[in-house]
Amino acid sequence: MTDTEHTENDEDTTGTMYDVVVLGAGPVGENVADRTRAAGLSTAVVESELAGGECSYWACMPSKALLRPAIARADARRVPGLRHLVEGPLNAAEVLAHRDYEAADWKDDGQVAWLESIGAVFHRGHGRLAGPRRVVVDAPDGGRHVLTARHAVVVSTGSRAVLPDLPGLDEVRPWTSREATSAKQVPGRLIVVGGGVVAVEMATAWRALGSEVTVLVRGKGLLPRMEPFAGELVAEALTEAGADVRTGTSVTSVTRENGTVVALTDTGDRLEADEILFATGRAPRTDDIGLDTVGLEPGTWLSVDDSLRVTGSDWLYAVGDANHRALLTHQGKYQARIAGAAIAARAAGVPILESDPWGAHAATADHRAVPQVVFTDPEAASVGLSLAEAERAGHRVRAVDVEFSSVAGAGLYADGYRGRARMVVDLDREILRGVTFVGPAVGELIH
């Protein structure tokens, strides 16, 4: 049966048959569908929210739309002949309107049309596994559809924000990354809890838009997974921009009193704000997709082999955030291409991995050498291991540090350019174990 042949009888008994069923229509799921359709496999894509996923509506696109004006203004203020033209505040209404445009006003017509243009069948609704190779979709209109996969079911449901276990937190209606990137107005006062990427990017964006921002970090500094100087330089810049950055501070309770958020800390402080953002980690969105019906634990990260097939299964695959290899969109898309190729090869009876371990069917990219950029001012970019990580792994290494202010030409980019680079050199193998850059526009260098 082809992907366009639907009958009531099929749905009432074995379900509509496809070669591949993809759970999740974010950029990762879309890429899987693109590859399997290109290989001639009928493919259904199931999405409970918006086709295009987190990246299009609540992460990559809206966050960069919020951050770009902030960083462009900061850059202009460091260029002779321009700084006097950009001393005023950002036009928040224009920034938010452009953010809305880039997020397609949270409508997925274009993304659905693209899926249909490649020949995939889009099912809107909540999809759950119902045993091997079967997915039950509860549609928004109350209907139920049963999909059966000949060859593969692919989990690409992504991850979600984790909130701490604080009494009464639900009543406070805290922001997560989603609310932080989609808010319709600038809060007068914003508390940001956390020191990772989401925390520092959103602190940068909303401070530039006029919020009084307080950042509360439980640990010693910002960006704890990077070299210490990265967090230090970003913290200095946030402080200079008017944010209040407090390290070694945890929130012990939070309430909303007459519309005002009141947060108490373990240092004895009482803080008031209009909104509070918790950017305290991610968890897999696998808690309600029927993993228990195939012998897996709901709510867990899914372990996979290099063809992205779930450990112990010959038909279930997991790509992107769900397998916890690297929670980055570009890595998820890479995995999606590999998974699509592996599924197509297996469907055609082509043996893979054992005979072709370095070919197009194995995600063998080094998970420790994934480039990433934090779009703050200054930007922080890294690839590979930090010095501490390399030493913990037992490598004999040394750090080579360079102050960008001493590099010829840095002054051409910005007056008083401040930044730093570190290379972690393996003394035995004479290779780089890691590189970190911090400074304006260093995201353009990390590749």
For the chain, 447 residues long, give each residue's pLDDT as a single digit of tens: 333 333 333 344 457 999 999 999 999 999 999 999 999 999 999 999 999 999 999 999 999 999 999 999 999 999 999 988 998 899 999 999 999 999 999 999 999 999 999 999 999 999 999 999 999 999 999 999 999 999 999 999 999 999 999 988 989 999 999 999 999 999 999 999 999 999 999 999 999 999 999 999 999 999 999 999 999 999 999 999 999 999 999 999 999 999 999 999 999 999 999 999 999 999 999 999 999 999 999 999 999 999 999 999 999 999 999 999 988 898 999 999 999 999 999 999 887 755 455 566 777 777 778 899 999 999 999 999 999 999 999 999 999 999 998 887 888 888 889 999 999 999 999 999 999 999 999 999 888
What's the rounded Cα separation, in Å, for the pair 342 and 361?
5
- Please name the residues in contact with 438: beta carbons below 8 A apart, sequence gap of 6 or more: 229, 230, 233, 234, 378, 379, 380, 381, 419, 420, 421
Sheet holding 251-257, edge to edge: 251-257, 260-265, 270-273
The first and second tokens of residue 262, run together, are 């009141």
What's the rounded Cα separation, in Å, for the pair 21 and 148?
8
In the chain, CATH 3.50.50.60 covers 8-55+103-160+283-347, 163-280
- Please name the residues in contact with 112: beta carbons below 8 A apart, sequence gap of 6 or more: 51, 122
CATH code given to domain 8-55+103-160+283-347: 3.50.50.60
Do residues 440 and 402 touch, judged by C-beta distance below 8 A? no
Instruction: Identify the pLDDT of residue 12.
Output: 41
Helix (H, G, I), strand (E, B) or coil at 374: strand
What's the rounded Cα separation, in Å, for the pair 388 and 227?
8
Instruction: Identify the pLDDT of residue 365.
Output: 72
Exposure string over 310-332, b if 16+ CB within 10 A, otherwise e: beebebbbbbbbbbbbbbbbebb
Instruction: Identify the pLDDT of residue 2.
Output: 38
What's the rounded Cα separation, in Å, for the pair 403 and 3?
58
| Backbone φ and ψ of 7, nearest 5° | -135, 150
- Identify which of 294, 307, 305 has the alpha carbon closest to the alpha carbon of residue 344: 307
Domain 378-444: CATH superfamily, name plus number: FAD/NAD-linked reductase, C-terminal dimerisation domain (3.30.390.30)
Instruction: Identify the pLDDT of residue 408.
Output: 78
β-pairing verdict for 43-47 and 121-124: parallel
What's the rounded Cα separation, in Å, for the pair 96 and 65?
8
In the chain, CATH 3.30.390.30 covers 378-444
Instruction: Identify the pLDDT of residue 5.
Output: 39
359 strand-pairing partners: none
Q: DSSP states of 61-97 as a string? A: HHHHHHHHHHHHHHHHTTSTTTGGGS-SPP-HHHHHH
Structural domain 163-280, CATH architecture: 3-Layer(bba) Sandwich (3.50)
Q: How many CB atoms lie within 10 A of CB 368?
A: 14
CA 320 and chain centroid, separation: 10
Helix (H) or strand (E) holding 257: strand 251-257
Instruction: Identify the pLDDT of residue 397.
Output: 98
CA-to-CA separations, 188 to 203, 205, 271, in angstroms, rounded: 13, 13, 13
